[in-house]
Amino acid sequence: MAGRAIVAWLDERVDLSGLRHFVAEKTVPVHAHKVWYYMGGLALFLFLVQVATGILLLLYYRPSASEAYESVKFIVSTVEFGWLIRNVHSWSANLLVLIAFIHLFSTFFLRAYRRPRELTWLSGVALLFLMLAFGFSGYLLPWNELAFFATKVGTGVAGAVPVVGDFLVRFMRGGDEVTGATLTRFYGLHVAVLPAITTVVLALHLLLIQRQGMSVPIGVEKRAREGVPIAQMPFFPNYVLRDLMWWFIALAIIAALSVFSPWELGQKADAFAPVPAGIRPEWYFLAMFQLLKMLPSHILGLEGEMLGVLGFSLIAVAVLLVPFLDTRAARGEPNRPLTVIGIVGLILFIAFTIYGYVAA
């Protein structure tokens, strides 16, 4: 067939044997927890959706304070299917962060970060932070009221960092206040800086997974050591088709959300308007935001907000260093206390997020 002829032509010039081996030989472990394997691929797929819709939006978006809002309005009302592209981009972003968190928690609880996959974990956590940065920077781009004030509050939190706080705020805002300068800065971040960094980190993450194969739960590994072989399924086509199924389900969810809960544009940002009541960031920052709001203004003489920010930074560092802190997993042993910490952390995260919604 024509397909085979093309493959043969390419094989002559670019040695495709590695690719052919990959397609024919790669397998994925089969066990009770294999459903979590799909989360990573789903996150990758959603990221690709973001890149595609983001590039499409780039064709019409204008990153200046006097034109940003109008250009988004133009996209959703005048450009054919612009409303669809914008809604897919906004909803897929949220879904991406959700899946990324699920992926983080599932790899945490399954100890997938244990030796030799520490680098995979580090790059993965870095990717999560990058997705959060994408979300924060992208949120401002429509330059509407909600985004403007959310950015004002969010960048203001950085001021609580001791010593470099003021510099950080100025650096993020491109000035002392949130202005058109902030918009262009966030735009540059969102479409150039973050994608470039993400490409590198993502490539590393995927390369590591390819080289090391999929991690299996500790119990399965132990049984394998005792002689029970781990069932495998061919990557291509079995796993790929299952992956595709998840991707399609995600697409259906995004499409449904785009129709039944379209993203509003709201009012154009006005620096001199009073802050609208109930201002709050997107759900993935809500728990942090709510906690900061609840902290008293001073604890033991130190600024409450500063302690909050430092606390979150410590949690972030701890999350990064989990593979090195969990010595038991490295030895292939379960670690009950860590599991409990993880569950408590997850519950608190969910609880404060819900509280953040309810309190507004």
> Least separation, in Å, of the C-beta of 148 and another protein?
18
Q: Name the residue nearer to another protein (CB basis): 71 or 215.
A: 71
With b for 16 or more beta-carbon neighbours within 10 A and e for fewer, the 115-125 pattern comes to eebbebbbbbb
Q: Name the residue nearer to another protein (CB basis): 63 or 165.
A: 63
Do 233 and 239 meet the contact criterion of CB atoms below 8 Å apart?
yes
Using left for φ > 0, alpha for ψ between -120 and 50, and beta otherwise, residue 66 falls in alpha
> Closest Cα partner for 333 from 247, 226, 221?
221
Q: Name the residue nearer to another protein (CB basis): 67 or 221.
A: 67
> Least separation, in Å, of the C-beta of 321 and another protein?
38
Q: Name the residue nearer to another protein (CB basis): 251 or 346.
A: 251
For the CA atoms of the chain, what is the radius of gyration?
23
Whole-angstrom Cα distance, residue 94 to residue 283?
9
**Residue 228, number of CB atoms within 10 A of its CB:** 10
Q: Name the residue nearer to another protein (CB basis): 25 or 166.
A: 25
> Least separation, in Å, of the C-beta of 323 and another protein?
32
Q: Name the residue nearer to another protein (CB basis): 53 or 335.
A: 53
> Least separation, in Å, of the C-beta of 131 and another protein?
23
> Least separation, in Å, of the C-beta of 219 and another protein?
20
> Least separation, in Å, of the C-beta of 252 and another protein?
4
Residues 6 or more apart whose CB falls under 8 angstroms from that of 170 comprise: 176
> Closest Cα partner for 124 from 39, 29, 190?
39
Q: Name the residue nearer to another protein (CB basis): 71 or 353.
A: 71
DSSP structure class, residue 239: I
- Summarize as ranges the residues that interact with another protein (CB under 8 A): 30, 56, 59, 66-67, 70-71, 73-74, 76-85, 231, 233-234, 237-238, 241-242, 244-245, 248-249, 251-252, 255-256, 258-259, 262, 264-265
> Least separation, in Å, of the C-beta of 52 and another protein?
8
What torsion do the CA atoms of 39, 332, 223, 102 make, to the nearest 10 degrees?
A: -10
Residue whose token pair is 């920077």: 137
Two structure tokens written together for 271 = 């620096």
> Closest Cα partner for 56 from 27, 34, 76, 36?
76
φ and ψ at 81, to 5 degrees? Answer: 65, 10
Strand segments, DSSP code E, in 82-142 are none
Residues 6 or more apart whose CB falls under 8 angstroms from that of 305 comprise: 157, 160, 292, 295, 297
Q: Name the residue nearer to another protein (CB basis): 57 or 160.
A: 57
Whole-angstrom Cα distance, residue 29 to residue 217?
10
Q: Name the residue nearer to another protein (CB basis): 154 or 180.
A: 180
Residues 6 or more apart whose CB falls under 8 angstroms from that of 227 comprise: none
Peptide bond into 281 cis (omega under 30): no
Q: Name the residue nearer to another protein (CB basis): 57 or 329.
A: 57
